[in-house]
């Protein structure tokens, strides 16, 4: 019985080795593909910078002050631009941001689940359907979608009082503060 098992094992050894080699080759190819995707994700910021030339600029007009901002090239940001011009009253929220309800929901199915906003960020809070301008950093917020960034000081947004604003798309070359 022992010799028969040994004979079967020896006869099947080439097949076992072949399967092992194929498995190693498949694993190697999968690792290479994963590494390629990783390298592409690492170079994404460079590609993004080249597309910034087509970035949409907006103006946020507060009394006698005009802020400019650059919007990201996302579906939510494009939907926001389609709503412009907008006249809104921004209310203070949590001593961190100014918020206002938008007249329509923005599409966001491809957006990240949330993010950590920084000073100057313009965001859309999907659960409530409102616009937010951050004048202080804040923690990670699920449902918050970054639309863009104010290009400069946010001092005009600070304080606990409501602010009336007009938001409009900048015309070509009309993006001065």
Tell me the average confidence (pLDDT) per consecutive run of 10 residues in the chain, 177 residues long: 53 53 48 40 38 77 95 95 97 96 93 96 96 97 97 93 96 55
Predicted pLDDT of residue 15: 56
Which of 10, 33, 52 is the last residue before a domain boundary? 52
Residues 25 and 67 in one domain: no
pLDDT of 172 reads 61
Q: What is the reported pLDDT for 14?
A: 59
Question: How many structural domains is the chain composed of?
Answer: 2
Domain housing 18: 2-52
Q: Look up tokens 């798309």; give the residue.
A: 169
What pLDDT score was predicted for residue 159? 86
Same-domain pairing of 22 and 47: yes
102 shares a domain with 22:
no
Res 55: pLDDT: 81
> 110 — phi, psi (to 5°)?
-95, 5
115 and 102 belong to one structural domain: yes
Q: Residue 66's pLDDT is what?
A: 96
Q: Give the pLDDT score at 87.
A: 97
pTM: 0.68
Task: Please indicate, yes or no, if residue 93 is contained in any of the structural domains.
Answer: yes
């Amino acid at each position: 019985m022992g010799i028969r098992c040994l004979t079967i094992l020896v006869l099947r050894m080439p097949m076992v080795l072949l399967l092992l080699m194929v498995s190693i080759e498949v694993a190697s190819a999968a690792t290479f593909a994963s590494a390629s995707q990783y390298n592409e994700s690492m170079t994404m910021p460079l590609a993004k910078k080249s597309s910034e030339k087509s970035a949409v600029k907006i103006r946020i007009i507060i009394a006698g002050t005009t802020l400019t901002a650059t919007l990201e090239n996302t579906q939510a940001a494009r939907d926001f631009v389609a709503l412009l011009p907008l006249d809104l009253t921004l209310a203070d929220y949590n001593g961190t941001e100014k918020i206002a309800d938008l007249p329509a929901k923005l599409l966001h199915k491809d957006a990240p689940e949330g993010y950590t906003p920084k000073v100057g960020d313009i965001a859309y809070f999907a659960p409530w359907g409102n616009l937010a301008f951050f004048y202080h950093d804040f923690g990670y917020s699920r449902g918050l979608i970054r639309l863009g960034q104010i290009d400069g000081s946010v001092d005009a947004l600070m304080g606990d009082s409501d602010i009336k604003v007009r938001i409009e798309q900048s015309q070509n070359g009309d993006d001065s503060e």
